Amino acid sequence: MNKKRLGKQKGRFLDSAALLEIQNLLANMPRRKDLLIEALHLIQDEFHFISAKHVVALAFEMKLSQAEVYEVATFYHHFDVIKEDQAPPPPLTVRVCESISCEMSGAKKLTEDLKKLFPIGSMSTEKIRIQAVPCVGRCMDAPVAVVGKNPVDQATPESVKDCVEKKDIQPTLPKYVNFAEYQKYGGYQLFQDCLSGKIDKESVITELKNSGLRGFGGAGFPAGSKWEIVRKFQEPRLMAINIDEGEPGTFKDRHYLESDPHRFLEGSLIASYAVEIEEIYIYLRDEYTAAREILLREIVELQSAFPEMLPEIHLRRGAGAYICGEESAMIESIEGKRGIPRLRPPYVAEVGLFGRPTLEHNMETLHWVRDIVEKGAESFSSHGRRGRKGLRAFSISGRINNPGVHLAPAGISMRELIDEYCDGMLDGHSFYGYFPGGASGGMLPASLGDLPMDFDTLQEHGCFIGSAAVIVFSEHDNAHELALNAMRFFAHESCGQCTPCRVGTVKAIPLMEKKIWNQPLLEELSQTMEDASICGLGQAAPNPLRCAMKYFQNEV
């Protein structure tokens, strides 16, 4: 018998073999609650699932209740928690993205074709499963499938099958600016000037405020003002960097991470200097496997180059939960909990990570800090159109010739983006409408394609720019179906904490699946979700359906 009672664990028996496996996996990892999700990742990576006996053993090893480990593990989509009477999943999972851009590019047919290639009951299905998933952050290359951890861009059944047969399940690292290359062209000199006192903290913050830089995670709060606010609270202070970009249509953070990672790292260090930050926590989307490998390598290089000069830097993996893009949900996740948004006040700036004052930022915001402080506020603020200031990195996908991350002046219009940056619409497609800020930002018709694209310019039309995740659709697409895709996404990603969001998103789906919508009922449901949801997910979930009713009446 390898099962016995140890300690005072209640419920399931502790399996001594499973305990040994957990101890070997965790090795020298500290047994702290905030590392629970990291420990769950190690188990999932090793065994491709998390068994009941591993839940029990992990709870014992980390001195947590079994219920606590179980509720965290089952909250996140990327953990396969298997009970004793369940068969484990196949060792290889092929994930097919079916969010908006990929659905427009034929993702559903791709899923069906792959299921025919690997039919249930065949020998292959014992080793492979096909899984439809939400956005994986590669919308410019739609449709996308992920074989193990290797993304297959512009995927076809043949290209996916080829990866499976070659066991090509790990991503290839892209070419990027490494530490030596970054330092060769002046990288980290500004940070050293800060530490030496050549540049004082107040001037850094002043330059940032004068630039007009705002948070690019979606909320758009002025960055310099945020630094001032956090700095006023008592030490020790922490920083949490949100790179869990799960908004359908956005992939700009991945683009910057996989091309020039040190620019945001230096921006983080300058922020830590100005705000007197003790530790930095980087929360990275789990789908970004290549970016994680890059960061692991480059942070080691950075720490070796500047020993005893840096705040402590922690890299944490998300686990497949869009809700963790919300700042307080991300903080809960970093602390090893379910990603449940907090009620406010108190705000994160005062009571954030581990109860300390916390500077929370999106990665792209920090990407601009070095340029602004080094070259002056006008180097950023001088750009813009229609009275707007600054630059925006637009993640653009859909029916255009040149999808990708395009750096353009704030206030540019959608038509200008399509013509000047995207090389026009695809042949045979005419501009019909667009999502200006991902699924949550709502959608607008082509007749409103001349509006300035920036913070505070789209609200009167029922939309917002958010993280500038732009999805362009044509007359070959159906706004009704695109709005329904967005609602299914929100229903899947709701954390379930509040009833208006948890139930409202689910109830909206069958109403939207009808050919003719019950618009008064859908509006009543939308208003309830907007008024009573705790966080932005439930509040913004009705935006696409409301826009469909307002601008695409002929379809609903």
Of 82, 109, 129, the one marking the end of a domain is 82
In a domain, 120, yes or no: yes
Say yes or no: 105 and 44 in one domain. Answer: no
In a domain, 391, yes or no: no
Which structure tokens are listed for 459?
Answer: 């609200």
For residues 459 and 442, give the distance between their C-alpha atoms in angstroms, rounded to a whole number. Answer: 10
The identity of residue 269, as a single letter, is L
Find the angle CA(416)-CA(418)-CA(420) to the nearest 5 degrees.
Answer: 60
Task: Indicate which CATH number applies to the domain containing 472.
Answer: 1.20.1440.230
281, 316 in Cβ contact below 8 A?
Answer: yes
Say yes or no: 547 and 437 in one domain. Answer: yes
In a domain, 381, yes or no: no
Say yes or no: 211 and 293 in one domain. Answer: yes
Find the angle CA(90)-CA(93)-CA(95) to the nearest 5 degrees.
Answer: 150
Task: Indicate which CATH number applies to the domain containing 126.
Answer: 3.40.30.10
In a domain, 290, yes or no: yes
Q: Which of 366, 188, 199 is nearest to 271 (CA)?
A: 366
556 residues of the chain, pLDDT tens digit each? 455 555 545 568 899 999 999 999 999 899 999 999 999 999 999 999 999 999 999 999 999 999 999 999 999 999 999 998 899 999 999 999 999 999 999 999 999 999 999 886 555 556 899 999 999 999 999 999 999 999 999 999 999 999 999 999 999 999 999 999 999 999 999 999 999 999 999 999 999 999 999 998 878 899 999 999 999 999 999 999 999 999 999 999 999 999 999 999 999 999 999 999 999 999 999 999 999 999 999 999 999 999 989 999 999 999 999 999 999 999 999 999 999 999 999 999 999 999 999 999 999 999 999 999 999 999 999 999 999 999 999 999 999 999 999 999 999 999 999 999 999 999 999 999 999 999 999 999 999 999 999 999 999 999 999 999 999 999 999 999 999 999 999 999 999 999 999 999 999 999 999 999 999 999 999 999 999 999 999 999 999 999 999 999 999 9
Say yes or no: 202 and 284 in one domain. Answer: yes
Residues ≥6 apart with Cβ < 8 Å to 82: 49, 50, 51, 52, 88, 89
In a domain, 213, yes or no: yes
| β-sheet with 92-97: strand ranges across | 128-133, 92-97, 145-147, 150-152
Q: Is 34 exposed, middle or buried (0-12, 13-18, 19+ CB in 10 A)?
A: middle
* Secondary structure letter of residue 437 according to DSSP: S
For residues 227 and 222, give the distance between their C-alpha atoms in angstroms, rounded to a whole number. Answer: 9
402, 422 in Cβ contact below 8 A?
Answer: yes
Counted domains in the chain: 4
Say yes or no: 215 and 289 in one domain. Answer: yes
In a domain, 527, yes or no: yes
Find the angle CA(495)-CA(501)-CA(507) to the nearest 5 degrees.
Answer: 115
Which structure tokens are listed for 344?
Answer: 């406010």
Say yes or no: 368 and 473 in one domain. Answer: no
- Between strands 145-147 and 92-97, the pairing is antiparallel
For residues 392 and 510, give the distance between their C-alpha atoms in angstroms, rounded to a whole number. Answer: 37
Say yes or no: 361 and 448 in one domain. Answer: no
For residues 363 and 245, give the distance between their C-alpha atoms in angstroms, rounded to a whole number. Answer: 10
For residues 154 and 159, give the distance between their C-alpha atoms in angstroms, rounded to a whole number. Answer: 9
Residue 443 — φ and ψ, nearest 5°? -145, 150
Which structure tokens are listed for 277?
Answer: 């930050």
Say yes or no: 260 and 338 in one domain. Answer: yes
DSSP 186-211: TTTHHHHHHHHTSS-HHHHHHHHHHH
Report which secondary-structure segment, H or E, holds 238.
Answer: strand 237-243
For residues 444 and 210, give the distance between their C-alpha atoms in angstroms, rounded to a whole number. Answer: 32
Say yes or no: 188 and 316 in one domain. Answer: yes
Say yes or no: 9 and 137 in one domain. Answer: no
In a domain, 87, yes or no: no
In a domain, 421, yes or no: no
For residues 160 and 149, give the distance between their C-alpha atoms in angstroms, rounded to a whole number. Answer: 12
Task: Indicate which CATH number applies to the domain containing 15.
Answer: 1.10.10.1590
Domain, as residue range, for 36 = 3-82
The identity of residue 36, as a single letter, is L
Say yes or no: 440 and 509 in one domain. Answer: yes
Say yes or no: 223 and 340 in one domain. Answer: yes
